Amino acid sequence: MQLKIIYQDEHYVAVDKPPGLLVHRSRIARDRVFALQLLRDQIGRRVYPVHRLDRATSGVLIFGLSGAAAGRLADAFSTHRVDKAYLAVARGWTAEHGVIDHPVADEDGNGVAQSARTHYRRLATVELPYAVDRYPSSRYSLLSVNPESGRRQQIRKHFKHISHHLIGDTTHGNGRHNRFFRAQLGITRLLLTAHRLTFVHPYDAGRVSISAPPDADWALIARIFGWSL
């Protein structure tokens, strides 16, 4: 597998992570292929993780080309100095915008809840003439999502909390709607992607914005639903 490199300078390299790929080894998974390993072999040098995306989430994933560089940018993530913008498709029509402020279990998975906030803005809606649930038609929302914190599966858990489950989420989602997207549209993955990261470069103080273009699944959804991504 070749990862798509979407940004590189002397300190950092970013890729467009496909869904289903872990960032690095995890004690809770038996995977033998990881983004870190693939990128290391692809560019022929060590890379150092800065942040994390869930296995099921696609999009912008950045690594440091040295431990020091990774540490500087990781500190910007931990102190909320990185703007993280996601695209998501949720069940139902959400409010036009909102903030979900609800604790979620910590990243170590030990059940301890920590504070977490997620901002969202509704970009578009669609109503389909299919009785997927208990209503005669089914509604979906295209969302721009900006998490303040970075708890494990935070976005997915937050949209479950407000009963607007993300499509394709097999852990926190709604099975009926997931099956509908699989059967009718051939969409078999989580519709959540980190489509842009924006930050002040830790070394030259310039503003950096890294975007991942819509992949084939997102392009299909946009075409069928008449959405502009």
Q: Is 178 helix (H, G, I), strand (E, B) or coil?
A: helix
pLDDT bin (cut points 50, 70, 90) of residue 1 is: confident
| DSSP 8-state assignment for residue 225 | H
Answer whether residue 229 shows pLDDT above 60.
yes
At 105 the pLDDT is 83
Per residue in 170-184, pLDDT (tens digit) is 999 999 999 999 999
At 150 the pLDDT is 85
At 98 the pLDDT is 97
At 108 the pLDDT is 56
Residue 220 is encoded by which pair of tokens? 């299909």
pLDDT bin (cut points 50, 70, 90) of residue 25 is: low
Answer whether residue 161 shows pLDDT above 90.
yes
Contacts 24+ apart (CB under 8 A), 23-32: 23/49, 23/52, 23/53, 23/61, 24/49, 28/109, 29/55
Which positions are annotated as active-site residues?
54
| CA 206/CA 200 separation, integer angstroms | 6
Alpha helical stretches, state H, 47-141? 67-78
| CA 11/CA 62 separation, integer angstroms | 11
Q: Between these two residues, 151 and 145, which has the higher pLDDT value? A: 145
| CA 91/CA 173 separation, integer angstroms | 9
Q: Phi/psi of residue 169, each to 5°?
A: -85, 105
Answer whether residue 149 shows pLDDT above 90.
no
Q: What percent of the chain has pLDDT over 70?
A: 94
Domains and CATH numbers, the chain: 4-225 (3.30.2350.10)
Least confident of 5-14, 150-159, 194-203: 150-159
